[in-house]
Structures are given as C-alpha cells and as structure tokens.
Amino acid sequence: HTSVFTLLPVFLERRTSSPVHTLRVKMVLLGSSGVGKSSLALRFSKDEFRSTSPTVGCAYLTQLVHLGNSTLRFEIWDTAGEEKYHSVTPLYYRGAHVALLVYDITQRETFVRAQVWLKELEKQYIPGSTVIWLVGNKGDLAHDRQVPLEEGQSLASSRGLYFTETSALSGEQVTELLQSIAHRVFECIGAQQGGLTEWQEMPSVELQHRDSVNLFSSCCKVGP
C-alpha cells in the first residue's frame, strides 16, 4: 500500500495533559546505521533536527497523536543499525504495533538491508498484528538518489507494505507519515481483541519526612 495523506485532521500533542482515552502504541525503527532513524525519531517526538551519534543498543522517545476521542501514545524505539547489535534488536521490536523499515535513498545497500530486516520481521510477527512501513529517508538529497521512488513503491506493493519518502532534515512528510501511521494502527489493530492497551500515568509517590522517627531504632542500637 502506498500511504494516502487525505485523512481526517490529526493533532500532535506535546503537553502532558490527561486525555479521555490513551492507547499505547509501540513503534520501532529498523534499518542500517546512518539512514537517519534517530533523526526521524527526533522529528516525530520534538519536530527538530540535530546531528546525532550512532545509537548504542536502543533509544526511546514518545509522542502523542489525537484521533477524535482517543489519543495514541507512541512509544518510539530507535534501534542501533550497526551489525554488532543485530542479535539483540529482536528484543526491542518484539511486540511492536508498528515497524518502520528505513533506508537512505542515496545508498542502495541500505535498501537491500531493509529487505533483510523485513525477512526477520516476518519470522516474528503475526499477520495483522503489526503495521509495517517502508520509509525512504533523506529526500532532501534526491540529486544523489540511488534508489528510484518507483522501486521503493514496487517493493512495498509486492510485500503488502505501506510506503513513504521523507526528509528528517527538512521535516518533509514526517508529520504526515506519523498521522497516517496513527490512522492505520487505530483502524487495523485498535479495535481487535488483545489489540492496543490503555496507557495510564503512574501515580506520583509523596515522600513524607518525619523528624521524630528513627528508622533504625527497631532493629539496631549503637552504644550503651
């Protein structure tokens, strides 16, 4: 499927207000090192761009997307792309509702690598339980393109994936991508039995100081 952005309005929320219904969505970004996964995650979460170092293990960010009377709380897992971390990556994407397979449109080998990640995912997930999106990043470098737009679309169509090209640097199509993902997840998974679960903020714990109490008096005593 190619993504369609003619959808109902969606509002991104960065406040910590309490919505009527908040549903947890685990989203994982997979792909080779240097394709811009961390930059995309930062755009999703804070709508900003900055140079980042290679991710070690996994990084975690959040973002809220409002859909009518419900709010989706995206828990964004940005995985390391280096080969030495490959064996532990399944620990992070297991149970994900959304998987983004990210490649760099200027580096063909990253497109090939995205297909390897897809094969790994297909061993782990139950059809219908995960929305998988193929994302060609670095659209701002289209003059150095090695992977034609049509090739990305063709792969997505043949494997039943959604597809979008983005630019984490300029922000092009990043907000629209998150909006489209939110709709697809809510439509495909949200209503299923055992689908999205409700997120509740952990209550704060108030620590009380008691000047008159000696915490050690009941078990120990020092001195005569």
Q: Is the pLDDT of residue 220 over 60?
A: no
- CB count, 10 Å around CB of 23? 21
Residues contacting 144, CB < 8 A, separation 6+: 106
Nearest of 185, 130, 207 to residue 117 by alpha carbon: 130
What is the predicted pLDDT for the residue at 54?
56
DSSP letters spanning 176-223: HHHHHHHHHHIIIIITSTT-SPBP-PPPP------TT--TTTTT----
**149 inside domain:** yes
pTM across the whole model:
0.76
- Give the integer Cα–Cα distance in Å for 182 and 72: 7
13 or 127, which is more confident: 127
**198 inside domain:** no
Nearest of 94, 87, 81 to residue 33 by alpha carbon: 81
Quick one: tokens of 163? Answer: 């597809």
**69 inside domain:** yes
What is the predicted pLDDT for the residue at 84?
45
The domain that holds 98 is classified in CATH as: 3.40.50.300
pLDDT tens-place string over residues 81-91? 555 445 555 67
The domain tally of the chain equals: 1
**223 inside domain:** no
Q: How confident is the model at residue 203 (pLDDT cuts 50, 70, 90)?
A: low
**195 inside domain:** no
Return mean pLDDT, the chain.
79
**93 inside domain:** yes
- CB count, 10 Å around CB of 38? 24
**Boundaries of domain holding 101:** 11-190
Residues contacting 194, CB < 8 A, separation 6+: none
Q: Is the pLDDT of residue 26 over 90?
A: yes
Environment class of residue 86 by beta-carbon count within 10 Å: exposed (0-12), middle (13-18) or buried (19+)? middle
Q: How confident is the model at residue 124 (pLDDT cuts 50, 70, 90)?
A: confident
Secondary structure (3-state) at 141? helix
**53 inside domain:** yes
**5 inside domain:** no
Quick one: tokens of 107? Answer: 């580096």
Cβ pair 133, 101 in contact under 8 A: yes
Q: Is the pLDDT of residue 99 over 60?
A: yes
137 or 89, which is more confident: 137
Q: Is the pLDDT of residue 214 over 50?
A: no
Cβ pair 50, 99 in contact under 8 A: no
Q: Is the pLDDT of residue 204 over 50?
A: no
Average pLDDT over residues 185-189: 89
214 or 167, which is more confident: 167
What is the predicted pLDDT for the residue at 21?
80
Determine the distance from the C-alpha atom of residue 170 to the mean position of all C-alpha atoms in its chain, rounded to a whole number. Answer: 19
Secondary structure (3-state) at 103? strand
